[in-house]
Amino acid sequence: MNSKAKIGIVICDRYRRCAGGKCFRAMRNKEGAFSIYTDTEVELVGFTTCEGCPGGNIEYAGEEMVKNGAEVIHLATGLVVGYPPCPYIHTFKTFLEKRYGVKVVIGTHPIPKKYLDMHTHLGTWKDSAWEPLVAPTMSDEKTRASYD
C-alpha cells in the first residue's frame, strides 16, 4: 500500500435502513467506484444519508466528514440506480467540492445486474449526461451479477 484515503459515504435516504453491506464489500474488494484505490488503504470516516429530498443533510454531513479527515466523499450507487435516480446528484457533487474542497466520487459498489437491466429497459441512462455518473460503477457482467 502506498497511501491511505479517508472517505465518507452518503447514501440516498430511500435506503436509510441499509446496513451498507454492498458498499463495504466493494470498498474491501476495491470494486466498483472503489477500484480507484488499487494501491491505497481506505478508511471510512463517515456514513450517512442525504436526509431525503432535497438533501438537507448534505451540508452538515460534508462538514462532519471533513472534520473527521475525509478527503473523498462517495455519493453511493443507490443515488444513481434508485427509481428515479437522484435529481440532486449534480448539486450535491458541486456543493461538496466547492464548499469543502474534497473530491466527490459518484458511486460505491458496482451497479447490480438487475438495476442495469431495468434502467436499460426504461431508457433511464440514454442521455450522455449519465455516462460519467454510471461509469465508475459499471463493472464487468460477472461482478454486477454478484451484487444482485
Residue in this structure with the C-alpha cell 451540508, named with its chain if needed: 59
Fold of 3-146: Rossmann fold (3.40.50)
Q: What is the pTM of this model?
A: 0.94
Tell me what pLDDT residue 2 has: 59
Total Cβ atoms within 10 A of residue 114: 13
Give the largest Cα separation in the chain, rounded. 42
Q: Span 44-73, mean pLDDT?
A: 96
Q: Is it the case that residue 131 has pLDDT exceeding 80?
A: yes
Tens-place pLDDT, residues 31-41: 999 999 999 99
Tens-place pLDDT, residues 106-121: 999 999 999 999 999 9
DSSP string computed for the chain: --EEEEEEEEE-GGGTT---HHHHHHHHHT-GGGGGGTTEEEEEEEEEE--STTTTTHHHHHHHHHHTT-SEEEE-THHHHSSSPPTTHHHHHHHHHHHH--EEEE-SSPPPHHHHHHHHHHTTT-SGGGHHHHGGG---HHHHHHT-
What is d(CA 142, CA 114) in angstroms, rounded to the nearest whole number?
Answer: 12
Q: Is it the case that residue 1 has pLDDT exceeding 60?
A: no
Confidence of residue 56 (pLDDT cuts 50, 70, 90): very high
What is d(CA 145, CA 78) in angstroms, rounded to the nearest whole number?
Answer: 16
The mean pLDDT value of the chain amounts to: 94
Tell me what pLDDT residue 142 has: 93
Tens-place pLDDT, residues 63-103: 999 999 999 999 999 999 998 999 999 999 999 999 999 99
Instruction: Locate the domains of the chain by residue range.
Output: 3-146
